[in-house]
Each structure stands twice: as C-alpha cells, then as structure tokens.
C-alpha cells in the first residue's frame, strides 16, 4: 500500500525562529518535512515551484506592523492563498556563549525588527551596547554558536527555541519593550480547494485603487460597509513605480463561501483596477464576526429570490 | 376567427381632463375603450378588479409635486406596476357659457391644484374673483355646461380639451403662472410580463426605512450609490400612523433587467423593512442614463464569474 | 401708562378649523387677536405685510403628508421663521342641519384632504354618498349653517369645534380611517430674535441641491451625518420650472444656537446653491435629541481651541 | 555685532547616505552644521533635546513603503513637526576596494531595504552572492573602506555619494530593480512658527480610530471628504499593544492656515480619540491641490458669516 507522502513546509529559518514556533503550533502532532529558508521570499517561492506544499511566514507584528516582504510577495507573481494563521507572543532571550556575563555584553546581534522591539530594554540593561544587524534572530544565535569568539558580537537577541537549539546560555529572559507584543504568521498554499467556512473566518485581499480619483479609498471601503463586512486589518503598500499610488492589503471578517463576502468581492472587482483574492481561512482566535441585520446568507438569498420573482412578473 | 378584445383604459375623468390627453398620447392610434373615473383611487382599483386592463393617472406635477392619491394607492393594496409614462404641458383655458365676458367673471371653479397654479394670473386678470373648488378641472367645465346659470360660478379653469368637449366658450388661453408647468402621468397595469428594456428606462419603487436608526436615509441611498444607480425622483410619504415615520417613493434610472438595478434591489430588500417594486418602463424622454465605470451588465457578470471561479479554487 | 398691544394671530380659517384649535393650544391663556384667513398663503402673507404678528398654519399631516402651500410659501418670498409648533389629533364629526338623519346623508362637503382621511368610513357608513369639495372643513360647516337646504349638500365633515361654532347637529363622532391621525401646525413669525434653545428643539431648513450631480442628495445628507445631526422630517418639493429638480424641506433635531447645527449649516451653505433658514424652536413633544459622541458644544469648542493653538505654534 | 549661529541639522548618517543628499538639496547654499546619527530615532531625538535645530530623515520609499521608525517616533513622545520635504531618486552603486573585479564579489553588504530594492539585479549580475545586512548603506561603504579585506564582505551597495566619500571603486552604477524608485525625506523641527502657506502644501497627521466601531475608518475618512480635502498618503501602523488596533499616518493636500483643513482637523478632533498634528509645509513638487466647489476659504468665511447673521436674527 503506497504511503501518503509527508507534507513539506517551507518557513523563514533558520531553525529556532519564531516562525518555526508558529509552524509547530500550526501542524500540531502531524509529521511533516520542514524546509528552513533564508528569507520570506524564498519560502513563498518554494510553494510556487512545488518544492514545498506550504509556507509559514510572518505577516504582521503588533509593534512593527506589516511584514513588507510577505505582503509584496503575495501581491504579485504566481497566485498563492492563505489557508491558516497563527499568533505567537514575541519575547526574546539574550543568549551568549556559555560563561558570558551580562555585564560584559557590548555588541548584540539580532534582526533589526527585533532590535527595535528591545531598544528600551537594552538602553536600561546594557547601557552603551551596540546593535549588530543579522538576517534573522535565529541566524544571530546560530552564527554565535558557530563562530564563537570570532562571531563579532557577544550575544544574540533570539527566541527561547533558538537559544536551546544552538546550545547558547540564556543571559536574560522575557526581553521585550512591550510584553504583549505578538506576531501573526500565515500558512500559505497553492490555489485549490479552500478551507471550509467555520463561522469565524478571515479573507485576505489585495486591492488597487482607481487612479486620480478623489475619495477613491472612501468609495472602496463603502463596498464593504454596504454589505456589513468589517475589516480586521488594512495596510497600504506603494504600488512601486512612484509615490502617491497605493495598493491596500486587507483582511475582512468572513469567508468567501458567505454571500456578503461574495457580494463585496463582486463590488470591488467592478470598481477597482485590480483585486487579488488571497484566501479564506479560520481565525486563530475563533471569534465569530458581528453580523449586521440584513447581511446573513438567508437575507441575501431571500432578496435574490425576490428579484428573480419580479423578473418573472411576480411582486 | 375570434376578435382580439379591445384594451380597456380607466383614467381620471371626466372626459376632457389632462389625464385623458395623456391617455390619448400614450395609446396613439390604437382603438381602446376608455373608462373615465371620479378619482385616482377608483381608476387604479378598476385594474385591481379586472374591470380595466390599464389605468392612466397623474403622479407628479412640476409645480405641485407628487400626487398623493396615486403614490399612496400604488404603495398599498393589491400589487400594480407602472408600464409607461407620459408628460403633458399644463396650461389652462378659462371657459364660460357662450356670451360670458371676461370682466363679468366673479367665481371660478376648478380643482384646487389647478387654482394653485393660476393664482397669480387670476389676481392680475380677475381681481377679486373667488375660487370654487371642484373635484377635477373637467368636472368644473362639465357642471357649468350642464347647470348653466345655476352652476354656482361663472367660469371654469380647465384643459383646452374640456372646453371643446363641453361646448364652452374660451375666455382666455395659456393660463398658467408658470408657463413651463408639466404633469407626469403613469400607465398602470397588473403585474405580469414587464416592458422590455430600451436602454432609457425608469424603475419605480416604494421603500420603508428602518425605524429609529440615525442615518437610515443615508444608508438606504448608499445602496443606490454603490452600484452607480441614479435617482430621478425621491419623495417622502408619511407611513400613516404617526409623524416622523416616512416611506420613500423613488424613481431610479434603469430597468430591472439590468444587473446594477437588480443588485440595488437586492441590497434594499436586505436592509429595509419593506420594498415594493412598482415597475420598470421606458422613459418618455428617451434619455439614456449616465453609466458610471464598473456598472455595466458586463462588469457585473465578469465580477460574478470571477468570484465563482474563486469558489472553485481559481484565482 | 401705554398698554401693550395684543398680539395678532393670522390662521387658516374660518373659525372652527383644526388650525384654530392649534392656535388656541399655542397661545394658552394669552389674550390675542385672531385673524381667520381664506388660505395658508393669505395667513402667511399677513405676517409679511405686518398685518399680523404671527400666523398658525398646518405643515404636515400624518396621513396626507406635507402641506404644499405652507412649504412653498415659506420657501420663497420675504423671509419668515417658524417659532413654535403644535400637534393636534385629527378626528372629524359628521355635522348636519338639526333634524338630519344619518341615513339621509347623500352629499358630504369637506376639504379634499379630510375626505381622503375618511373615505373608508364613508364607504361603510354612508354607502353611495358623494364628496362635495370645500375650501376647508370649517367652510363646509359654515356654508351649511348659512345656506341650509340650499347649500347643495346634506352634511359637513368638520372639526368638533366647527360643528359647535356653527350650531350644527353632530350625526357621527370620531370619524377617521386612521384614529391616530394628527396634523402638525407651525407658528410663524417675522425674522428677529430667535426662541431660546431648550435642549429639545427643531430647526427647519429649505435646501436646493446642486444640479446634474449624481449622488447630490447623498452628499447633502452627509453634511448632517458628519456632525451627528439627525433629521426628523425630509420632504422633496419640485423647484417649479421642470420635473427632476427638487428642493428639500428639512427638520433637524437641534437649535441653531448649538455648535453642531451651526457647523451643519456652514457645510450646507458651502455646497448647496441655496439654503434657507426657517427657524429654530422648541419641539412640542419636549424629547431631547440623541447626542452622538463628539458632537456636544464642548466637543466643538475644545476642537476649535486646539486648532487655534496649532496655528499659534502649539501642539 | 553678534553672529547668527549656524543651524544644526541632524540626519540619518553616516556621511554619504541618501539622507545626506536630501539634506544638501534642502539647505542649498546655506552654511549649516550637520550631525550624522546612527539611526532615525537618534536624529529625531536630537531635535527634541535641542542638540539640533532640525532633523532630516526618510519617511517613505516608493518600493518599500513607509519608514516605520520615522512614523513611530513622530507619533509619540515630545511633539515634533515636519517643516519641509525632499524627494531623492534611489539608485545605488556597487562599490568595492580598489582593484576588486565584479566577478569576484560574493558577499555584498547594505541595508536590508536597499537589498530588497536590488535583489533582482543581484540575482542576474552576481549570481549566488549573499547579503550581509548593515545598519545603513553608507555604513556598509564606510566599514569596507575602513576594514578592507577584514570587513567580512567584498562590496557595498550604497549611494554614489558614499562611494566617493569613502574612496571606494565603483563596480556598477544605476543599480536598482525599479529605476524610478524614490525616497521621500522630511525636514523635522520643533513646534513653533509654521511655514507660510504657498498654495501647494501638505499637512501630516497621526490619527487613532475609535475602538470597536464598525466603519470607523470610513467615518474618519468622511471627515476629509465632506470638506473636499484629498489625501496624498495614508498608512496604517499598529498602536502597539495588540493586533487589530491601528493608527493612521496621513498626508493631506493643504495647509492648516486654510479653512477647509482647519474644519477637517476640528472634525477629527471631535470623533477620534487621538489626533496629532505633525506639520504643514510646502510640497516639493509645487503641485497645487484640486479645490472642489464650495471649499475655498472664501466659501467657508461666507458660510460662517451667514450663520452668524442668522444668530443675530438675520436671514
């Protein structure tokens, strides 16, 4: 009997990143192949080329905002869709070679976003310490474990998983200027069968606005409002060839299987030069959306049947 | 071979009214049976009971505004639909018994709306003359012809057709404070097959607003705006059991066979407690509506097909 | 010592109309001179000419809707302002000459609006009876009392006050198809000092829309919404020289002494070709408006002071 | 006679950055003191502490979007205001130690944003080359010049100015995946006298939305639309303590000295929990805003005077 091949998950590596933690939370006990990648673009491309079935990448941080590489890679190129999400609390550890004393730390390697989230802590606890940028928090840890005294820095700000994975000594825990900081990760796959609606779903879109039209953003948002569809995230991105032209990355509350979401997509498609559907998937928090009166599937179906009756001469 | 029965048209009579003039313009050379009725309600009821195939009644005057009896009779009771419209210029003649001199006219009978439209003329030309209200302009003429000196008044303000029909002498022509005054009449039938779309159509609706909701009118109008549907008439009517609750009688530019009109009706049906469809019919002026970008049938169909493709796993 | 002259009140007469009842309710025990007028226009003109200090006229009926003559006379000509309002329940009596039996009534005189409100009752209780239009319900009663058997009709549908005033016998009481029917009357004066705000006020406006602008009504209503100002009445009136152009008669909740009302008026004045202020006055029902967050006088004043501070280099 | 002290300009250093190029373009021939800073936060803080009179920092890149550190540092802490802007085309040079051949370049240092903008070029011209993150493009160049073969990389992607300043050899010019890429820089000062309006100005704001309110973004944007104020940039930023709460960084077309901008600010202040004014300043492109009918200063003043007249009993 042929064995079911194991699903392959690309992720923003190296091993030990917060992204790997998100991946583990998403797959649970499932036995999967994991492919650490050097950056978000590479991880997503592996799904496009078929080298991976899924990719796990960060999309939004509660302190830093949207992850541009993820937003922009989803927005252009071969189609990809989000099929799940995970939220992971972001608190760092300061990790050094065994025997390092906190007082001796002068140079700290980490990803610039991580540094931005610990700047206040570093000013208080490591006065005068300098930031050495790394391509990821895990890379900072890995290089330190690997190069030792020649690494060019004394400690890495990284995830607890990284410190453990690379055998570093934890010099400080719970490092974060904002102790409630979280990052949202998305599970991305190739287009195909959509996750079933659960009643607590999100849909992700990328929308271009009509050029040179005053109030274009207002009119675009009206397409949502008139069908009672709420947004849970909206983020502008430059379209790329000039200032002053923006696309919008949007998460709405609801699943494309729902009538009000379909009606909103139809409205957007009519009035916006470009709309890209980037998936409908269960919300990690399981919170059902607030449904305004007149926006249930039954309301839409009854209204449509009424109009069909009118076309047949009914009343 | 059985003969096709002649269509029966009820109208606001008696013979000679502006309504009869509208009816003649609507039917052209067709040979029809005409049924003059004492009032608008009676004329419309004859369609409901099957005594007439159609009714012709005034719906709107450029000076006086909406004709309440027409609006309210269409809005409640057994369904009726508008299938055509006609606009007739409203200028009156002052008509008396043969031999009457303009200077002798002291009492003038006419419908109160007609009087309102000639008040200025009367003040200038018939200083001191008194208005005697009549149920219609034609009734004023008919009664004068019939009762003569016992009619209780000296002249009738009526249509040229009435003066001719009842054998009265025209004492003054072109009587109107506003020489551009017109009345719009509608041709009303029973629900059934709708007139074909012509590209220059109107659709008439009656819509109740949700109670106790600030901005309910704004939200209702948004259902039109978001689909690029223009209104050519909007008129409030009390709902009837208190002040402060209104329904709206609306003419929109377009035919229910058009996608954007259907989408608007679906939206209204979802959010308004009551929507009554009162017909789609060719505009008498033949002016095609202005079509905003993204609101053609093709735009709607393409958008819907895109969403259907997404539901099948497409992009 | 010179005596304070008694205030002179013009009203829609003759004596005994519902309008006179409204006037009595408005003035209470005050000793005033009353001037019955043949129609609404005449009553309002007496304020313009100075022959009266105030006029009391109907503006809106819960069954028939707006009173066009009142709306249109306020909307054009020398300025007038509403300074008060009164709501009067409208139930009629059927009144005849002493000795008339209900079963003998064949012809019933009354104002056409009154007839419209009693049509159902008449069909049930006076099957086959005919309507004889009169210029007012009181005039129908007065003429019957005066002309007796020569009046041309057997009974008048009029107010209880009219039946009493003209010595007619009441044949039926509580006549009304809708027992909750009411008419709202307004007390109109010359421009000058405004009534003080009470916290439960209305402001009446007449507004023209910009021509040829899709969504003009929506944009006009937005001027109210954005300042949290609710409408309690909106009614379209033809502008008078063609179909398709409308002005709007509007009552809003609030007093021009309030910041949010002033801001709304400023917005309307900027974007509408014509705005006429027709008075701020206490609501007869004393119901205070619902005040949305951020729309109190204090909110406006704080916001303005903040901006003034910014202009001075503050933050 | 005491000498006027030279103005001190902090900027995102080190010497040779695109930011320094922007600074030079902003000050022109003026003789100023320049203070290169390690990061955006440090540069802005120097204005807060008084160590600098102005700071020049990037705010937006046509490829990468908003510069979070700038947006977030302006949004909180002691007030700062934008007093000018400059746009600089972003094309890089690849610079190495004298004698380096393009074919030998294996490791390339630059700021991650710069790398993101040259990734395609690198894949084509430097197949297999690895990115070494640096804190700025100029720092990559400076360290290479300083450390030579011990720098840990072979070349820097930096501005032409950096290559020249640090004595590196240019291995490739015009490096950019998008040859039209530009970065917008802002000149930031302490609150105080505002730049005079020029008729072609921008105003920068930071606005928080009310919590838990469906349509809050739509209502906020309506405050702009109703006064005819266009946005030239809108960008969301997480508020920082959770996902799902956003502030918006906004550039609007106009100067706070203009009535329509003041009215918009007053409206925002009323309905948003927090509004921060971040300056009005001339647009670098000198393009005057499109002024909708009814939104000129004269329109506002006339409307306000009309309302003031009404309060005095006028009409």
Task: List the domain range (segments joined by +) for residue A249.
Answer: 194-315
Q: CA Rg, chain B, in Å? A: 23
CATH number of the domain within which C221 lies: 3.30.70.260
| pLDDT score recorded for residue B262 | 97
Examine the fold and report which residue of C192, C222, C240 is the final residue of a domain before the chain moves on.
C192
- Read off the pLDDT band of A214 (50, 70, 90): low
Flag whether residue A304 sits within 8 Å of chain D, measured between CB atoms. Answer: no
Residue B171 lies in a domain: no
Domain co-membership, B263 together with B303:
yes
Instruction: Give per-residue pLDDT as tens, B249-297.
Output: 999 999 999 999 999 999 999 999 999 999 999 999 999 888 889 999 9
Domain co-membership, A48 together with A184:
yes
Exposure of A53 by Cβ count < 10 A (0-12 exposed, 13-18 middle, 19+ buried)? middle
Under an 8 A CB cutoff, do C303 and D269 touch? yes
Domain co-membership, B206 together with B303:
yes
Under an 8 A CB cutoff, do B269 and A315 touch? no
In chain A, the DSSP E strands lie at 8-12, 33-37, 54-61, 65-66, 81-89, 92-96, 107-110, 130-133, 155-158, 169-175, 182-189, 201-208, 231-238, 246-253, 274-282
Q: How many domains does chain D have?
A: 3
Under an 8 A CB cutoff, do D306 and C271 touch? no
| pLDDT score recorded for residue D315 | 80
Give all chains having 3 or more CB-to-CB distances under 8 Å with chain C.
B, D
Domain co-membership, C265 together with C161:
no
Cβ neighbour number for residue A292 with a 10 Å cutoff = 18
Domain co-membership, D204 together with D72:
no
CATH number of the domain within which C162 lies: 3.40.190.10
Q: Do the two chains B and C touch, given a threshold of 8 Å on CB pairs and at least 3 pairs?
A: yes
Domain co-membership, D213 together with D306:
yes
Q: Between these two residues, C218 and D289, which has the higher pLDDT value?
A: C218
Q: Which residues pair with D55 in a beta bridge?
A: D10, D188
Examine the fold and report which residue of A127, A160, A192 is the final residue of a domain before the chain moves on.
A192
Q: Between these two residues, A211 and D80, which has the higher pLDDT value?
A: D80
- B-chain CB neighbours of A256 within 8 Å are 307, 310-311
pLDDT above 90: residue C243: no
Domain co-membership, D303 together with D237:
yes
| pLDDT score recorded for residue D1 | 53
Instruction: Give per-residue pLDDT as tens, D127-157.
Output: 889 888 887 899 999 999 999 989 989 999 9
Examine the fold and report which residue of C175, C208, C240 is the final residue of a domain before the chain moves on.
C175
Under an 8 A CB cutoff, do A131 and D135 touch? yes
Q: What is the pLDDT along chain D (315 residues), one digit of tens a residue?
A: 556 789 999 999 889 999 999 999 999 999 999 999 988 999 999 999 999 999 999 999 988 889 988 999 999 999 999 999 999 999 999 999 999 999 999 999 998 889 888 989 999 999 889 888 887 899 999 999 999 989 989 999 999 999 999 999 999 999 999 888 999 999 999 999 899 999 999 999 999 998 756 688 999 999 999 999 999 899 999 886 678 788 999 999 999 999 999 999 999 999 999 999 999 999 999 998 888 899 999 999 999 999 999 999 888
CA D164 → CA C183, D9, D36, D76, distances in Å? 86, 22, 17, 37
Residue B166 lies in a domain: no
> Residues 6 or more apart from C255 whose CB is under 8 A from it?
C194, C197, C198, C201, C203, C261, C280
Contact criterion met (CB below 8 Å) for B130 and B107? yes
Cβ neighbour number for residue C293 with a 10 Å cutoff = 11
Kindly report the length of chain B. 315
Domain co-membership, A137 together with A218:
no
Q: Tell me the average pLDDT across C259-270.
A: 97
Domain co-membership, D71 together with D187:
yes
- D-chain CB neighbours of C210 within 8 Å are 293
| pLDDT score recorded for residue C314 | 83
ipTM score for this prediction: 0.90
pLDDT above 80: residue C3: no
Residue B165 lies in a domain: no
Q: DSSP per residue over chain D, as a string?
A: -PPPPPPEEEEE-STTSHHHHHHHHHHTT---EEEEESSHHHHHHHHHHTS-SEEEEEEEETTTEE-HHHHHHHHSSS--EEEEEEEEE--EEEEESTT--GGG--EEEE-HHHHHHHHHHHHHHSTT-EEEE-SSHHHHHHHHHHHGGGGSSSEEEE-HHHHHHTTPEEEEEEE-SSTT-EEEEEEEE-SSSPPPP-SSEEEEEEEEPPTT-TTHHHHHHHHHHTTTPPEEEEEEEE-SSSTT-EEEEEEEES-TTSHHHHHHHHHHHHHSSEEEEEEEEE-TT-PPPP--TT-SHHHHHHHHHHHHHHHTT--
- Read off the pLDDT band of C65 (50, 70, 90): confident
How many residue pairs bridge chain B and chain C with CB atoms within 8 Å of each other?
A: 114
| pLDDT score recorded for residue A5 | 84
Domain co-membership, B67 together with B105:
no
- D-chain CB neighbours of C265 within 8 Å are 303, 306-307, 310
Nearest to D263 by CA among C189, A246, C267: C267
Domain co-membership, A200 together with A262:
yes
Domain co-membership, B84 together with B100:
no
Q: What is the pLDDT along chain B (315 residues), one digit of tens a residue?
A: 556 789 999 999 889 999 999 999 999 999 999 999 988 999 999 999 999 999 999 999 988 889 988 999 999 999 999 999 999 999 999 999 999 999 999 999 998 889 888 989 999 999 989 888 887 899 999 999 999 989 989 999 999 999 999 999 999 999 999 888 999 999 999 999 899 999 999 999 999 998 756 688 999 999 999 999 999 899 999 886 678 788 999 999 999 999 999 999 999 999 999 999 999 999 999 998 888 899 999 999 999 999 999 999 887
The model's pTM: 0.92
Pairwise CA distance, residues C239 & A279, whole Å: 51
Map residue A270 onto helix, strand or coil.
Answer: helix
Flag whether residue D290 sits within 8 Å of chain A, measured between CB atoms. Answer: yes
Pairwise CA distance, residues C226 & B271, whole Å: 21
> If you measure CA to CA, which chain C residue comes closest to B88?
C243
């Amino acid at each position: 009997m042929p064995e079911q091949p194991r699903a392959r998950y690309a992720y923003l590596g190296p091993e030990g990143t917060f992204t790997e933690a998100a991946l583990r939370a998403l797959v649970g006990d499932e036995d999967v192949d994991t492919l650490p990648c050097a950056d978000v673009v590479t991880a997503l491309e592996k799904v496009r080329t078929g080298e991976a079935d899924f990719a796990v990448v960060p999309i939004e941080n509660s302190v830093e905002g949207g992850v541009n590489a993820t937003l922009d890679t989803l927005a252009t190129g071969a189609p990809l869709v989000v099929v799940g999400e995970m939220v992971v609390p972001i608190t760092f550890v300061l990790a050094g070679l065994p025997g390092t004393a906190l007082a001796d730390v002068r140079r700290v390697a980490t990803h610039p976003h991580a540094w931005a989230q610990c700047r206040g802590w570093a000013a208080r606890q490591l006065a005068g310490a300098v930031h050495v940028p790394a391509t990821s928090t895990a890379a900072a840890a890995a290089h330190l474990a690997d190069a030792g005294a020649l690494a060019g820095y004394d400690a890495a700000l990284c995830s607890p998983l990284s410190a453990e994975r690379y055998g570093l000594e934890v010099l400080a825990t719970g490092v974060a200027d904002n102790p409630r900081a979280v990052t949202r990760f998305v599970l991305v796959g190739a287009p195909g069968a959509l996750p079933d609606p659960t009643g607590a779903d999100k849909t992700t879109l990328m929308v271009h606005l009509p050029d040179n039209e005053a109030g274009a953003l207002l009119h675009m948002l009206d397409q949502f409002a008139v069908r009672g569809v709420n947004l849970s995230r909206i983020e502008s991105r430059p379209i790329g060839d000039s200032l002053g032209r923006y696309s919008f990355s949007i998460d709405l509350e609801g699943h494309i299987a729902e009538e009000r979401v379909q009606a909103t997509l139809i409205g957007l498609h009519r009035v916006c030069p470009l709309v890209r559907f980037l998936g409908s998937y269960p919300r990690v928090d399981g919170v059902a959306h607030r449904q305004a009166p007149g926006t249930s599937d039954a309301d839409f179906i009854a209204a449509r049947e009424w109009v069909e009756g009118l076309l047949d001469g009914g009343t």
